[in-house]
Amino acid sequence: MSEFVAAVIQMRSGRDTGANIAAAASLIREAASAGATYVQTPEMTNLLEKSRADLFAKIAPEGEDTGVAAFSELAKELGIFLHVGSMAIRTSEAKAANRGFLFAPDGSLLARYDKIHMFDVDLPNGESWRESATYGPGEAAVVVGLPQALLGMGICYDIRFPALFRAQAGAGAEILTAPAAFTRQTGEAHWHVLQRARAIENGAFVISAAQGGRHEDGRETYGHSLIVAPWGEVLAEIDHDEPGFALATLDLSQVAEARRRIPAIANQREFSIRQTGRETEAAE
């Protein structure tokens, strides 16, 4: 099958994991009813909570997590590939994982991915984020085989690290993903250009479901969930920050065509860096 329908789910996750899972499930059902056979939810589908103490009071190890069980059952019920962009999963008393899950139509877990790049930044508007204080970074990139295509898993801040997506494309990935909870400030500046750049430079589809709006913990996210084609066209967008879903039909032949027209992956070469310029002053 060279074509299939993909959907992005946009959410405004809050502090109640049960309510968040229910909200996601409702939108997933709507997207599946509209014809989607692959559905993606955003980063932190199960919980957005700034307070570290409150976060750890609400999350569980993967084997005990109610969201993992619920989404597995939902994928099976609907007969879809369900990509839960990420959930907060306890890995120890002191650390959690920002972990994405991809469930098959029979409910089995096809792949999991722990976010590699931690969002440790101080923004010009005074916002300060230290993701590494709570979450342990992943160590491995993930490419998973679907019947339609190979799919590379990423999460949010990963989108700013082109080497991750180039490595996935080099391994054969035709679909790249970056489900996110982008801050409004960085989203307004960079969201669209980053998504389109990763698509264009790799000749791949990019699918990124997003959080949007003002959340219960006070943060504000950008929304604008996107599906981008290999030539850089935006195929689907939720053009606001409200919850909802959007669909697009992906024609996988466009990947081969884009890579034929601009064979950047095939033309890539290893190189060294030679540093030249003004010499430093000799020590006195």
In a domain, residue 283? The reply is: no
Domain with 83 in it:
3-124+131-267
Among 3, 30, 43, 216, which one carries the catalytic annotation? 43
Among 49, 156, 174, 237, which one carries the catalytic annotation? 156
Q: Which amino acid is at 138?
A: G
E strands along 55-202, which residues? 81-90, 96-103, 109-114, 120-122, 128-130, 142-145, 150-153, 175-177
d(CA 195, CA 200): 9
In a domain, residue 284? The reply is: no
Say what the pTM is.
0.95
In a domain, residue 191? The reply is: yes
Q: Give per-residue pLDDT as tens, 198-235.
A: 999 999 999 999 999 999 999 999 999 999 999 999 99
Q: Among this protein's residues, is 62 annotated catalytic?
A: no
C-alpha angle 42-56-213 in degrees, rounded to nearest 5: 35
In a domain, residue 272? The reply is: no
In a domain, residue 280? The reply is: no
188 strand-pairing partners: none
Q: Give per-residue pLDDT as tens, 167-186.
A: 999 999 999 999 999 999 99
In a domain, residue 281? The reply is: no
113 strand-pairing partners: 100
Among residues 230, 124, 139, the alpha carbon closest in space to that of 184 is found at 124
Q: Are 116 and 141 in contact (CB under 8 A)?
A: yes
Q: What is the CATH number of the domain that holds 45?
A: 3.60.110.10
In a domain, residue 275? The reply is: no
Q: Among this protein's residues, is 43 annotated catalytic?
A: yes
In a domain, residue 60? The reply is: yes
Q: Give per-residue pLDDT as tens, 72-119.
A: 999 999 999 999 999 999 999 999 999 999 999 999 999 999 999 998
Tally of structural domains, the chain: 1
Q: Among this protein's residues, is 115 annotated catalytic?
A: yes
